[in-house]
Structure 1
Amino acid sequence: MGDANDADELLDSVILKVITKSSDNFGSLLLKALREAQLDYFKTEQRRRKRFELSIDNESPNSEVMERDGDERPVETAVELRQRKKRTDQLKLIDSLTRSAKTDTATTTIVEAYLFAPLDAKPTEIARSLGIHHETVKRKLRRLARRYDANRFGDVREYLAV
């Protein structure tokens, strides 16, 4: 949130406050005061950013690059690239799980409905949209989840919500 100057100012002010207090354990008092000052700084900076919208905060970080290049398409940030890669990995996983011979048409229909449903969709909503019982949806998804191989695909937490 801040830069090196803000950190130096914070450290200097905390040291001055701790020096004024006479204590036997200067080190622990300094660490505690520094931790509290840091948390206080983050809280006030977050509040300031919510209340006051600055023009420098509104500018996109790539605006200078776009002006120099004359290119109208925005440059993707690292977060957007990571989210896109994660989504592709999720789709590959779903495809490999549903491609096997053990998957019936109902399971593939349920998975496709989940792919096009909102992120917070529940099994009952998916079942209602497909016109089948919600327990059937839950059973089919559990059966599909049993085919997940952690040795082959890696940790399941890597595929969860983007």
Structure 2
Amino acid sequence: MLFCGINPGLMTAATGHHFARPGNRFWPVLHLSGFTPRLLKPAEQQELPAYGLGITNVVARATARADELSAEEYVEGGRLLTAKVTRWRPRWLAVVGVTAYRAAFGDRKAQVGPQERTIGDTRVWVLPNPSGLNAHWTAATMAEEYALLREAAGGTSDQGGSVSVTTPRS
């Protein structure tokens, strides 16, 4: 499973750890949904491959907010992400943020959940953005959605072969 954030926030850029801002709910939701047996801290992201999980971003440039990114950055990020997925061949790509997915892949009608698009044999799922700014999703409702993906992937996070992509600028 390769999780893909939108782009590094300023805290992530400063610390080198994905989803490092204290209000971000990625790490709690990852645990609540059953992907990890305990709540990991951003500084423990190197443990993700042990669970068959990897992490990257659509766009490498750090910003305070994702709405600072240009349409061109998203499209180029989608192209680069496709190349990464083609090279690493995870069984699943989980993009966290429907707006980012729509912009990166030119799919204006995409919704949270499984997508028809595949990248080679890699299936694609769009998850809610765990940013604290995405207030209409609670940690509990996000965890339910993340758990649907985990269950679709076979009920466990380790689906054979791990993807180790844990640098925020990868």
Q: Fold conserved (TM > 0.5)?
A: no
TM-score, scaled relative to structure 1: 0.24
Structure (1 or 2) with the greater helix fraction: 1
Question: Max radius of gyration: which structure?
Answer: 1
TM-score, scaled relative to structure 2: 0.23
Structure with larger RCO (C-alpha < 8 A, sep 6+): 2
